[in-house]
Protein backbone atom coordinates (compact mmCIF):
# COMPACT_ATOMS: atom_id res chain seq x y z
CA UNK A 1 0.00 0.00 0.00
CA UNK A 2 1.12 3.54 -0.70
CA UNK A 3 1.60 6.12 2.05
CA UNK A 4 -1.57 7.89 0.96
CA UNK A 5 -3.58 4.66 1.16
CA UNK A 6 -2.18 3.89 4.59
CA UNK A 7 -3.12 7.38 5.74
CA UNK A 8 -6.67 6.93 4.49
CA UNK A 9 -6.88 3.52 6.16
CA UNK A 10 -5.68 5.03 9.44
CA UNK A 11 -8.39 7.68 9.29
CA UNK A 12 -11.07 5.05 8.61
CA UNK A 13 -9.84 3.01 11.58
CA UNK A 14 -10.11 6.08 13.83
CA UNK A 15 -13.70 6.61 12.70
CA UNK A 16 -14.42 2.93 13.40
CA UNK A 17 -12.83 3.24 16.85
CA UNK A 18 -14.97 6.33 17.53
CA UNK A 19 -18.13 4.44 16.57
CA UNK A 20 -17.17 1.50 18.78
CA UNK A 21 -16.41 3.76 21.76
CA UNK A 22 -19.72 5.57 21.30
CA UNK A 23 -21.52 2.25 21.56
CA UNK A 24 -19.44 1.45 24.64
CA UNK A 25 -20.36 4.80 26.21
CA UNK A 26 -24.08 4.18 25.73
CA UNK A 27 -23.80 0.59 26.98
CA UNK A 28 -21.88 1.60 30.11
CA UNK A 29 -24.51 4.25 30.83
CA UNK A 30 -27.36 1.78 30.34
CA UNK A 31 -25.67 -0.79 32.57
CA UNK A 32 -25.08 1.80 35.30
CA UNK A 33 -28.71 2.91 35.18
CA UNK A 34 -30.10 -0.63 35.21
CA UNK A 35 -27.96 -1.74 38.13
CA UNK A 36 -29.05 1.36 40.03
CA UNK A 37 -32.72 0.60 39.36
CA UNK A 38 -32.29 -3.02 40.48
CA UNK A 39 -30.59 -1.90 43.68
CA UNK A 40 -33.39 0.57 44.49
CA UNK A 41 -35.97 -2.14 43.84
CA UNK A 42 -34.25 -4.50 46.28
CA UNK A 43 -34.23 -1.79 48.95
CA UNK A 44 -37.91 -1.03 48.43
CA UNK A 45 -38.79 -4.71 48.77
CA UNK A 46 -36.78 -4.86 51.96
CA UNK A 47 -38.50 -1.77 53.33
CA UNK A 48 -35.34 0.37 53.23
CA UNK A 49 -35.59 3.97 51.90
CA UNK A 50 -33.69 4.46 48.66
CA UNK A 51 -31.29 6.99 50.15
CA UNK A 52 -30.68 5.25 53.45
CA UNK A 53 -27.68 3.32 52.20
CA UNK A 54 -26.19 6.49 50.73
CA UNK A 55 -26.61 8.40 53.98
CA UNK A 56 -25.08 5.57 55.98
CA UNK A 57 -22.09 5.38 53.68
CA UNK A 58 -21.72 9.16 53.84
CA UNK A 59 -21.61 9.00 57.63
CA UNK A 60 -19.07 6.19 57.49
CA UNK A 61 -16.89 8.17 55.13
CA UNK A 62 -17.12 11.18 57.42
CA UNK A 63 -16.02 9.10 60.42
CA UNK A 64 -13.17 7.64 58.38
CA UNK A 65 -11.95 11.06 57.26
CA UNK A 66 -12.18 12.53 60.77
CA UNK A 67 -10.16 9.70 62.24
CA UNK A 68 -7.31 10.39 59.80
CA UNK A 69 -7.40 7.12 57.88
CA UNK A 70 -6.33 8.58 54.59
CA UNK A 71 -3.00 6.75 54.62
CA UNK A 72 -2.01 4.81 51.52
CA UNK A 73 -2.30 1.43 53.18
CA UNK A 74 -5.79 2.08 54.50
CA UNK A 75 -6.83 3.64 51.22
CA UNK A 76 -5.67 0.55 49.36
CA UNK A 77 -7.92 -1.75 51.37
CA UNK A 78 -10.81 0.67 51.00
CA UNK A 79 -10.29 0.69 47.26
CA UNK A 80 -10.45 -3.08 47.06
CA UNK A 81 -13.67 -3.05 49.05
CA UNK A 82 -15.21 -0.02 47.39
CA UNK A 83 -14.69 -1.04 43.82
CA UNK A 84 -16.41 -4.35 44.43
CA UNK A 85 -19.69 -2.42 44.51
CA UNK A 86 -21.63 -4.72 42.26
CA UNK A 87 -22.59 -8.17 43.51
CA UNK A 88 -21.41 -11.12 41.46
CA UNK A 89 -23.60 -11.79 38.47
CA UNK A 90 -25.21 -8.34 38.51
CA UNK A 91 -23.47 -7.18 35.34
CA UNK A 92 -25.71 -8.05 32.43
CA UNK A 93 -25.73 -7.85 28.68
CA UNK A 94 -25.13 -4.09 28.56
CA UNK A 95 -21.94 -4.48 30.61
CA UNK A 96 -20.71 -7.23 28.32
CA UNK A 97 -21.37 -5.13 25.23
CA UNK A 98 -19.68 -2.14 26.85
CA UNK A 99 -16.48 -4.00 27.70
CA UNK A 100 -16.37 -5.79 24.33
CA UNK A 101 -16.78 -2.60 22.33
CA UNK A 102 -14.23 -0.82 24.53
CA UNK A 103 -11.68 -3.53 23.79
CA UNK A 104 -12.62 -3.40 20.10
CA UNK A 105 -12.36 0.39 19.99
CA UNK A 106 -8.97 0.30 21.71
CA UNK A 107 -7.71 -2.33 19.25
CA UNK A 108 -8.98 -0.32 16.27
CA UNK A 109 -7.30 2.80 17.63
CA UNK A 110 -4.03 0.91 18.06
CA UNK A 111 -4.26 -0.23 14.43
CA UNK A 112 -4.97 3.35 13.36
CA UNK A 113 -1.89 4.58 15.19
CA UNK A 114 0.33 1.91 13.63
CA UNK A 115 -0.91 2.57 10.09
CA UNK A 116 -0.51 6.31 10.68
CA UNK A 117 3.12 5.74 11.62
CA UNK A 118 3.68 3.60 8.54
CA UNK A 119 2.09 6.25 6.33
CA UNK A 120 4.25 9.01 7.79
CA UNK A 121 7.40 6.86 8.00
CA UNK A 122 8.09 7.89 11.59
CA UNK A 123 6.84 7.64 15.17
CA UNK A 124 3.12 8.53 15.05
CA UNK A 125 3.02 11.29 17.67
CA UNK A 126 4.50 14.39 16.10
CA UNK A 127 1.45 16.70 15.97
CA UNK A 128 -1.76 17.48 17.85
CA UNK A 129 -3.87 15.02 15.86
CA UNK A 130 -1.51 12.13 16.57
CA UNK A 131 -1.09 13.18 20.20
CA UNK A 132 -4.89 13.01 20.53
CA UNK A 133 -5.00 9.50 19.08
CA UNK A 134 -2.22 8.09 21.23
CA UNK A 135 -3.36 9.89 24.39
CA UNK A 136 -6.88 8.47 24.00
CA UNK A 137 -5.43 5.02 23.40
CA UNK A 138 -3.32 5.21 26.59
CA UNK A 139 -6.31 6.33 28.68
CA UNK A 140 -8.38 3.42 27.37
CA UNK A 141 -5.50 0.98 27.93
CA UNK A 142 -5.03 2.19 31.51
CA UNK A 143 -8.75 1.68 32.17
CA UNK A 144 -8.67 -1.85 30.75
CA UNK A 145 -5.51 -2.81 32.63
CA UNK A 146 -6.79 -1.50 35.96
CA UNK A 147 -10.06 -3.36 35.34
CA UNK A 148 -8.14 -6.65 35.22
CA UNK A 149 -7.09 -6.08 38.84
CA UNK A 150 -10.35 -4.77 40.26
CA UNK A 151 -13.81 -3.96 38.96
CA UNK A 152 -13.68 -0.33 37.79
CA UNK A 153 -16.38 -0.55 35.17
CA UNK A 154 -18.08 2.40 36.87
CA UNK A 155 -15.36 4.50 35.17
CA UNK A 156 -16.20 3.12 31.75
CA UNK A 157 -18.85 5.60 30.63
CA UNK A 158 -16.62 8.53 31.50
CA UNK A 159 -13.33 7.21 30.11
CA UNK A 160 -14.93 6.13 26.83
CA UNK A 161 -16.86 9.39 26.72
CA UNK A 162 -13.70 11.49 27.06
CA UNK A 163 -11.92 9.32 24.49
CA UNK A 164 -14.83 9.78 22.06
CA UNK A 165 -14.75 13.56 22.56
CA UNK A 166 -10.98 13.68 22.03
CA UNK A 167 -11.17 11.57 18.87
CA UNK A 168 -13.98 13.74 17.52
CA UNK A 169 -11.87 16.85 18.06
CA UNK A 170 -8.87 15.13 16.53
CA UNK A 171 -10.72 14.15 13.38
CA UNK A 172 -12.57 17.45 12.90
CA UNK A 173 -10.20 20.07 14.33
CA UNK A 174 -6.63 18.80 14.61
CA UNK A 175 -6.43 16.49 11.59
CA UNK A 176 -3.46 16.85 9.23
CA UNK A 177 -2.32 14.51 6.48
CA UNK A 178 0.43 12.03 7.33
CA UNK A 179 3.83 13.43 6.42
CA UNK A 180 7.41 13.64 7.63
CA UNK A 181 8.70 16.04 10.27
CA UNK A 182 11.18 18.88 10.28
CA UNK A 183 14.87 18.05 10.92
CA UNK A 184 14.71 19.22 14.55
CA UNK A 185 12.14 16.49 15.28
CA UNK A 186 14.05 13.73 13.52
CA UNK A 187 15.47 12.40 16.77
CA UNK A 188 15.02 9.44 19.08
CA UNK A 189 13.95 12.02 21.66
CA UNK A 190 10.67 12.32 19.75
CA UNK A 191 10.01 8.72 20.76
CA UNK A 192 11.15 9.13 24.37
CA UNK A 193 10.12 12.66 25.34
CA UNK A 194 6.77 12.89 23.55
CA UNK A 195 5.95 9.22 24.11
CA UNK A 196 6.34 9.55 27.87
CA UNK A 197 4.34 12.79 27.85
CA UNK A 198 1.46 11.10 26.05
CA UNK A 199 1.53 8.16 28.47
CA UNK A 200 1.44 10.53 31.46
CA UNK A 201 -1.50 12.39 29.91
CA UNK A 202 -3.44 9.14 29.49
CA UNK A 203 -2.83 8.20 33.13
CA UNK A 204 -3.82 11.69 34.31
CA UNK A 205 -7.07 11.35 32.32
CA UNK A 206 -8.24 8.25 34.19
CA UNK A 207 -7.14 9.77 37.52
CA UNK A 208 -9.16 12.89 36.71
CA UNK A 209 -12.28 10.80 36.09
CA UNK A 210 -11.87 9.13 39.49
CA UNK A 211 -11.47 12.49 41.26
CA UNK A 212 -14.45 14.01 39.43
CA UNK A 213 -16.60 11.06 40.55
CA UNK A 214 -15.22 11.51 44.06
CA UNK A 215 -16.48 15.10 44.11
CA UNK A 216 -19.89 14.06 42.80
CA UNK A 217 -20.22 11.21 45.28
CA UNK A 218 -19.14 13.45 48.17
CA UNK A 219 -21.76 16.01 47.18
CA UNK A 220 -24.41 13.29 46.99
CA UNK A 221 -23.48 11.86 50.38
CA UNK A 222 -23.45 15.36 51.84
CA UNK A 223 -27.05 15.94 50.80
CA UNK A 224 -26.48 18.40 47.94
CA UNK A 225 -29.87 19.15 46.41
CA UNK A 226 -28.64 19.13 42.83
CA UNK A 227 -27.31 15.58 43.31
CA UNK A 228 -30.31 13.99 45.04
CA UNK A 229 -31.74 12.69 41.77
CA UNK A 230 -28.50 11.15 40.57
CA UNK A 231 -29.22 7.61 41.73
CA UNK A 232 -26.43 6.17 39.58
CA UNK A 233 -23.96 7.55 42.12
CA UNK A 234 -25.11 4.76 44.44
CA UNK A 235 -23.16 2.40 42.17
CA UNK A 236 -19.96 4.41 42.51
CA UNK A 237 -17.51 3.40 45.28
CA UNK A 238 -17.02 5.53 48.37
CA UNK A 239 -15.13 8.84 48.08
CA UNK A 240 -12.26 7.32 50.07
CA UNK A 241 -11.92 4.48 47.58
CA UNK A 242 -12.04 6.83 44.60
CA UNK A 243 -9.45 9.08 46.22
CA UNK A 244 -7.09 6.14 46.73
CA UNK A 245 -7.44 5.09 43.10
CA UNK A 246 -6.83 8.63 41.87
CA UNK A 247 -3.81 9.03 44.15
CA UNK A 248 -2.13 5.88 42.84
CA UNK A 249 -2.68 6.85 39.23
CA UNK A 250 -1.53 10.43 39.76
CA UNK A 251 1.62 9.21 41.48
CA UNK A 252 2.45 7.16 38.37
CA UNK A 253 1.55 10.05 36.09
CA UNK A 254 3.73 12.44 38.09
CA UNK A 255 6.78 10.21 37.75
CA UNK A 256 6.20 9.99 34.00
CA UNK A 257 5.74 13.76 33.75
CA UNK A 258 8.99 14.29 35.64
CA UNK A 259 10.78 12.20 33.01
CA UNK A 260 8.96 14.24 30.35
CA UNK A 261 10.47 17.49 31.63
CA UNK A 262 13.92 15.99 32.08
CA UNK A 263 13.87 14.46 28.60
CA UNK A 264 12.60 17.70 27.13
CA UNK A 265 15.45 19.65 28.74
CA UNK A 266 18.05 17.24 27.36
CA UNK A 267 16.48 17.37 23.88
CA UNK A 268 16.36 21.20 24.06
CA UNK A 269 20.08 21.30 24.79
CA UNK A 270 20.76 19.10 21.75
CA UNK A 271 18.42 21.07 19.45
CA UNK A 272 18.74 24.65 20.68
CA UNK A 273 21.90 24.70 22.79
CA UNK A 274 20.19 25.32 26.16
CA UNK A 275 18.35 23.17 28.68
CA UNK A 276 15.68 25.71 29.59
CA UNK A 277 14.48 28.87 27.88
CA UNK A 278 11.05 29.70 29.38
CA UNK A 279 9.27 28.82 26.17
CA UNK A 280 5.43 28.76 26.71
CA UNK A 281 5.37 24.95 26.37
CA UNK A 282 8.22 24.60 28.86
CA UNK A 283 6.57 26.98 31.31
CA UNK A 284 3.23 25.20 31.27
CA UNK A 285 4.86 21.78 31.49
CA UNK A 286 6.56 23.05 34.64
CA UNK A 287 3.25 24.45 35.94
CA UNK A 288 1.70 21.00 35.55
CA UNK A 289 4.61 19.45 37.41
CA UNK A 290 4.28 21.98 40.27
CA UNK A 291 0.51 21.42 40.60
CA UNK A 292 0.80 17.64 40.79
CA UNK A 293 3.84 17.87 43.07
CA UNK A 294 1.81 20.11 45.36
CA UNK A 295 -1.06 17.63 45.29
CA UNK A 296 1.14 14.67 46.19
CA UNK A 297 2.91 16.66 48.91
CA UNK A 298 -0.34 17.91 50.44
CA UNK A 299 -1.90 14.45 50.22
CA UNK A 300 0.98 12.54 51.82
CA UNK A 301 2.58 14.96 54.30
CA UNK A 302 -0.07 17.57 55.09
CA UNK A 303 -3.00 15.24 55.46
CA UNK A 304 -5.05 16.83 52.69
CA UNK A 305 -7.82 14.49 51.65
CA UNK A 306 -11.38 14.52 50.48
CA UNK A 307 -12.66 17.29 48.24
CA UNK A 308 -9.60 19.51 48.69
CA UNK A 309 -7.35 16.84 47.21
CA UNK A 310 -9.85 16.06 44.45
CA UNK A 311 -10.02 19.71 43.38
CA UNK A 312 -6.23 19.73 43.21
CA UNK A 313 -6.45 16.92 40.64
CA UNK A 314 -9.12 18.75 38.65
CA UNK A 315 -6.93 21.87 38.48
CA UNK A 316 -3.93 19.77 37.46
CA UNK A 317 -5.83 18.10 34.63
CA UNK A 318 -7.18 21.46 33.46
CA UNK A 319 -3.54 22.59 33.18
CA UNK A 320 -2.74 19.45 31.16
CA UNK A 321 -5.55 20.20 28.72
CA UNK A 322 -4.54 23.86 28.42
CA UNK A 323 -0.94 22.85 27.80
CA UNK A 324 -2.08 20.66 24.92
CA UNK A 325 -4.66 23.01 23.39
CA UNK A 326 -4.33 26.62 24.58
CA UNK A 327 -0.53 26.78 24.57
CA UNK A 328 -0.36 25.27 21.08
CA UNK A 329 -3.11 27.42 19.58
CA UNK A 330 -2.62 30.74 21.38
CA UNK A 331 1.08 31.20 22.07
CA UNK A 332 3.99 31.26 19.66
CA UNK A 333 7.20 29.63 20.76
CA UNK A 334 9.97 27.24 19.84
CA UNK A 335 7.53 24.34 20.04
CA UNK A 336 5.03 25.91 17.63
CA UNK A 337 6.45 24.25 14.52
CA UNK A 338 6.02 20.80 16.03
CA UNK A 339 2.29 21.09 16.64
CA UNK A 340 2.69 19.61 20.12
- 20-67: per-residue pLDDT in tens? 999 999 999 998 888 665 554 444 444 444 444 444 444 444 444 343
% pLDDT > 90, the chain: 51
* Spatial distance between the Cα atoms of 327 and 67, rounded to a whole number of angstroms: 42
What local confidence, expressed as pLDDT, does residue 52 receive?
43
Backbone φ and ψ for 224, nearest 5 degrees, come out as -60, 130
Query: Residue 62 has what pLDDT?
Result: 43
Residues in the chain: 340
pLDDT at 91: 54
Residue 177 has pLDDT above 60, yes or no: yes
Cβ contacts of 340 within 8 Å, gap of 6 or more? 125, 126, 127, 128, 131, 194, 281, 328
- pTM > 0.85: yes or no: no
The total of structural domains in the chain comes to 1
Structural domain that includes position 104:
3-338
pLDDT averaged over the chain? 82
Amino acid sequence: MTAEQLGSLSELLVWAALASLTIALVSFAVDLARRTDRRVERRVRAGVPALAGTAARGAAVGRTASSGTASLGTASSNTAAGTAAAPAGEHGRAAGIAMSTTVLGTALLAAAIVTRGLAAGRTPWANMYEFTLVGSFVALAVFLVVNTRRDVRFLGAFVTGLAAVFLTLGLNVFYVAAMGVQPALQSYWLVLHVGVAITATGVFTVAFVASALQLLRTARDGGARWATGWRWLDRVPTPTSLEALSFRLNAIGFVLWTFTIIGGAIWAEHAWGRYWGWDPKEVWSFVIWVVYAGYLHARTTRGWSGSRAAWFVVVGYACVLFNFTGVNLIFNGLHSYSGL
